[in-house]
Amino acid sequence: KSGFITVVGRPNVGKSTLINHLMGAKLSIVSNKPQTTRKNMNAIYTDDDAQIIFVDTPGIHKAKNKLGEYMVHVAKESLSQVDLVIFITTASGEIHPGDALILEELKGLKTPKFLLVNKIDEFTQDRVAKTLELYGKAAEFDEIIPISALKGKNTEDILALVKKYL
């Protein structure tokens, strides 16, 4: 099995930490390739039955200028051109205003999509539950997983779930 996966989410939600964590399990090649003006991290994961390319996107946000508009356009386009979208947010207990645009995009998207609610080590169980409920209603996710990318909580199942969709 093989496929492209794009990892989207606002800055600091833990995209890079998650990718590093998933990559850490196996021998891997990590490359930093400059794209337009920002660095996108593309990580190639290989094991006995899969090759997966993780694309760490710069995010989807309100553009401030032409360059920003172009980058947001590229990020949106990529959502329909990959095999799976992993959307990451944090378990704060409410829908973060910075997630509104991406949730709108995900709503109409046919590409399989996962919701990862990260940093569950930092928030109460109530907040985690509330976050799962609110985001789960905001778009139709194929899988919803509360995790701690930093502590490696619930992360062990992600790759197996990902392979189901490739």
| Range in contact with ligand GDP (rule: CB under 6 A) among 23-31, 72-80, 116-124, 133-141 | 116-124
| Near ligand GDP by CB under 6 A: residue from 6, 57, 89, 118 | 118
Question: Is residue 112 at the binding interface for ligand GDP, with CB under 6 A as the rule?
Answer: no
Long-range contacts of 20-29 (CB under 8 A, 24+ apart): 21/149, 21/150, 21/152, 21/155, 22/54, 22/155, 22/158, 22/159, 23/54, 25/159
Q: Which does 89 bind (CB under 5 to 8 A by kind): ligand GDP, Mg ion, none?
A: none
* Partners of residue 117 on adjacent β-strands: 89, 146
Q: What is the CA radius of gyration of the chain?
A: 15
**Among 152, 68, 76, which residue's Cα sits nearest to residue 118?**
152
Question: Is residue 154 at the binding interface for ligand GDP, with CB under 6 A as the rule?
Answer: no
Which residues of this protein are in contact with Mg ion, per CB under 5 A?
15-16
Longest dimension (CA), the chain: 44
Question: Is residue 142 at the binding interface for ligand GDP, with CB under 6 A as the rule?
Answer: no
Binding mask 51-90 for ligand GDP (x = CB under 6 A): ----------------------------------------
Q: Which does 92 bind (CB under 5 to 8 A by kind): Mg ion, ligand GDP, none?
A: none
Identify residue 119 by its one-letter amino acid code: K
Where does this chain bind ligand GDP (CB under 6 A)?
Answer: 9, 11-17, 118-119, 121-122, 148-150
Binding-site residues from annotation for GTP: 9-16, 56-60, 118-121
